[in-house]
Amino acid sequence: MTDEEKQAAADAAKAAEKANAKDDDASPDTDGEHDYKAGEAKWKAMSRKHEADAKTNRDAAKKLAEIEEANKTEAQKAADKATLSDRAAADAKQELARLRVAMRKGLTEAQAKRLIGATEEELEADADELLSSFTTKDASDGDKHSARPKEKLRSGSTNADELSDDPQQRARDYYATAPSRPTKQ
């Protein structure tokens, strides 16, 4: 701390002591009201004192961190880097296992983020549990991963294997699915 900072802290402490010497935050005036300016001065002085203390503490903490870092040996620095590298490798391995299980089970990326487990077996068990929460009890179509019934939708064009070879059957199929038109009378 520089001499100027020490002097500013000392001045702030003196002002706070003067303000604390008064009995109340604000002294009563002659007409029974309080002198709020004296209370304001007291709290400002205390605020300045605390700000100076905080600045001193912040600077001291920064210097301490620098000294501790400088005192580390090369072996300690290498050990710290190795620890960080090991942690990053473990995180990457866990993410890889989670994504492998998700891919095998057919989960989306959002669903894969919810998998919990330390081993692939635990992740697979969690994935099975997650998938079972999406299935219905009476899935009649045999697809255990779908909670909605599968609808038989057709587009404007159909597959060639769905078409009949009989032209009359094709016409009946067409008019059976075509929208009804109003007839003239």
* pLDDT tens-digit readout, 79-133: 889 999 999 999 999 999 999 999 999 998 888 989 999 999 999 999 999 988 8
**In 22-161, alpha helices (H):** 36-71, 74-105, 109-112, 120-134
Q: Angle at the Cα of 93 (from 103 to 127), degrees rounded to 5?
A: 35
Q: Which residues contact 2 (CB under 8 A, 6 or more apart)?
A: none
Does a structural domain hold residue 165? no
Examine the pLDDT at 23 and tell me if it is beyond 50: no
End-of-domain residue from the set 24, 51, 71: 71
Q: Do 29 and 64 lie in a common domain?
A: yes
Examine the pLDDT at 56 and tell me if it is beyond 60: yes
Q: Which residues contact 13 (CB under 8 A, 6 or more apart)?
A: 49
Does a structural domain hold residue 42? yes
* pTM (two decimals): 0.37
Could you give the number of structural domains in the chain?
2
Domain that holds residue 65: 3-71
Does a structural domain hold residue 99? yes
